[in-house]
Amino acid sequence: MLRERPASAASQTSQTSAVVSERLQELVRMFKERTEKAKEKLIDPDSSDEESVIAAPPQPPAAPQGEEEEDEEEGRLGGQCVGGAGSGAGSRVSGGKQIRWIRACWPIRFPASIDPFTNILYVLWMFLVSAAWNWNVWLIPVRWAFPYQTPQNAPYWLLADYTCDLIYILDIAVFQPRLQFVSGGDIVCDKKEMRKNYMKTKRFKFDVASLAPLELLYFKTGINPLLRLPRLLKINSFFEFNERLEAILTKAYIYRVIRTTTYLLYCLHCNACLYHWASSYIGLGATQWVYNGVGNSYIRCYYFAVKTLITIGGLPDPTSLFEIVFQLINYFVGVFAFSIMIGQMRDVVGAATAAQTYYRTCMDNTIKYMTSYRIPKDVQNRVKTWYNYTWQSQGMLDEQELLTQLPDKMRLDIAVDVNYSIVSKVPLFQGCDRQMIFDMLKSLRSVVYLPGDYVCKKGEVGREMYIIKAGEVQVVGGPDERTVFATLRAGSVFGEISLLAVGGVNRRTANVISHGFANLFILDKKDLNEILVHYPESKKLLRKKARKMLNKGKKPEPKEEAKEPAPVPAASLKSETPRLLRAALEMTERSSGLKGALARVKERSSKSSISLQRSLSASLRPPDPVLSPRPDLDMSLSASSMTLRSASRSCNPADFPPAQLQLQRGVAGWDESEDEWDEGGRGE
Could you report the per-residue pLDDT of 162-211, keeping only the tens digit for each? 999 999 999 999 999 999 998 888 899 999 999 999 999 999 999 999 99
Which residues does 643 contact at the CB level (< 8 Å), separation at least 6?
A: none
**Gap between the Cα atoms of 675 and 673, Å rounded:** 5
The pLDDT assigned to 576 comes to 53
The range of the structural domain enclosing residue 197 comes to 120-340
Local structure of residue 179 (DSSP, 8 states):
B
Question: 218-222, 335-339, 542-546, 584-588: which has the minimum mean pLDDT?
Answer: 584-588
415 and 321 within one domain: no
- Residue 467 forms beta bridges with which residues? 493, 521
Q: Tell whether 29 is covered by a domain.
A: no
Q: Tell whether 137 is covered by a domain.
A: yes
Q: Tell whether 428 is covered by a domain.
A: yes
pLDDT at 222 over 50: yes
**Gap between the Cα atoms of 80 and 97, Å rounded:** 17
The pLDDT assigned to 343 comes to 87
The pLDDT assigned to 104 comes to 61
Rounded to the nearest integer, the mean pLDDT of the chain is 75
Residue 451 near residue 510 (C-beta atoms within 8 A) = no
The pLDDT assigned to 212 comes to 93
485 and 336 within one domain: no
The pLDDT assigned to 31 comes to 79
Number of domains observed in the structure of the chain = 2
- What angle, 0 to 180 degrees and rounded to 10, lies between the N-to-C axes of helices 252-282 and 297-309? 110
421 and 326 within one domain: no
Residue 671's CB is within 10 A of a number of other CB atoms, namely 22
pLDDT at 497 over 90: no
Residue 128 near residue 114 (C-beta atoms within 8 A) = no
Q: Tell whether 126 is covered by a domain.
A: yes
Q: What is the mean pLDDT of residues 41-58?
A: 46
pLDDT at 454 over 80: yes
The model's confidence at residue 252, banded by pLDDT at 50, 70 and 90, is confident
Residue 401 or residue 163, greater confidence: 163
Q: What is the mean pLDDT of residues 61-84?
A: 42
Radius of gyration of the chain (CA): 49
Q: What is the mean pLDDT of residues 281-305?
A: 90
Q: Tell whether 363 is covered by a domain.
A: no
The pLDDT assigned to 179 comes to 93
Pick from 666, 660, 659, 656: nearest CA to 605: 666
Residue 644 or residue 602, greater confidence: 602
Region for residue 503 given its phi and psi (left: phi exceeds 0; alpha: psi -120 to 50; beta: otherwise): left
For the question of whether the overall pTM of this predicted structure is more than 0.85, the answer is no
Q: What is the mean pLDDT of residues 10-29?
A: 74
Helix (H) or strand (E) holding 610: helix 595-619
The pLDDT assigned to 579 comes to 65
The model's confidence at residue 543, banded by pLDDT at 50, 70 and 90, is confident
309 and 169 within one domain: yes
The model's confidence at residue 47, banded by pLDDT at 50, 70 and 90, is very low
pLDDT tens readout for residues 113-147:
999 988 899 999 999 999 999 999 999 999 999 99
The pLDDT assigned to 195 comes to 93
Query: Which long-range contacts (C-beta less than 8 Å, at least 24 apart) are formed by 135-142?
Result: 135/160, 135/164, 136/161, 136/164, 136/228, 136/231, 136/232, 137/232, 137/266, 138/266, 138/269, 139/225, 140/225, 140/226, 140/228, 140/229, 140/231, 140/232, 141/269, 141/270, 141/273, 142/269, 142/273, 142/298
What percentage of the chain carries pLDDT values higher than 90?
25
130 and 226 within one domain: yes
The pLDDT assigned to 376 comes to 92
3-state class (DSSP) for residue 635: helix
Residue 299 near residue 263 (C-beta atoms within 8 A) = no
The model's confidence at residue 639, banded by pLDDT at 50, 70 and 90, is very low
Question: 33-42, 258-267, 384-393, 613-622: which has the minimum mean pLDDT?
Answer: 613-622
181 and 270 within one domain: yes
456 and 317 within one domain: no
**Gap between the Cα atoms of 580 and 99, Å rounded:** 122
Query: What are the Cα distances from residue 247, in Å, to 120, 127, 244, 250, 681?
Result: 11, 14, 5, 8, 82
Q: What is the mean pLDDT of residues 253-267?
A: 90
pLDDT at 671 over 60: no
Pick from 443, 483, 451: nearest CA to 467: 443
The pLDDT assigned to 641 comes to 43
- Hey, which of 21-30, 87-96, 441-450 has the most confident mean pLDDT? 441-450
296 and 151 within one domain: yes
The model's confidence at residue 331, banded by pLDDT at 50, 70 and 90, is confident
416 and 304 within one domain: no
**Gap between the Cα atoms of 80 and 61, Å rounded:** 31
**Gap between the Cα atoms of 565 and 617, Å rounded:** 10
Local structure of residue 428 (DSSP, 8 states):
G
Per-residue buried b or exposed e for 375-410, using 16+ beta carbons within 10 Å of the residue's own CB: eeeeeeeebeebbeebbeeeeebeeeeeeeeeeeee
Q: Tell whether 3 is covered by a domain.
A: no
Residue 145 near residue 269 (C-beta atoms within 8 A) = no
Which residues does 400 contact at the CB level (< 8 Å), separation at least 6?
A: 445
Q: What is the mean pLDDT of residues 58-68?
A: 43
Counting beta carbons within 10 angstroms of the beta carbon of residue 272, is it exposed (0 to 12), middle (13 to 18) or buried (19 or more)? buried
335 and 411 within one domain: no
Residue 272 near residue 309 (C-beta atoms within 8 A) = no
Q: What are phi and psi of 127, to 5 degrees?
A: -65, -40
- What angle, 0 to 180 degrees and rounded to 10, lies between the N-to-C axes of helices 631-650 and 658-683? 120
Q: Tell whether 526 is covered by a domain.
A: yes
The pLDDT assigned to 55 comes to 41
335 and 413 within one domain: no
Residue 263 near residue 252 (C-beta atoms within 8 A) = no
Q: Tell whether 138 is covered by a domain.
A: yes
Residue 350's CB is within 10 A of a number of other CB atoms, namely 11
Residue 398 or residue 477, greater confidence: 477
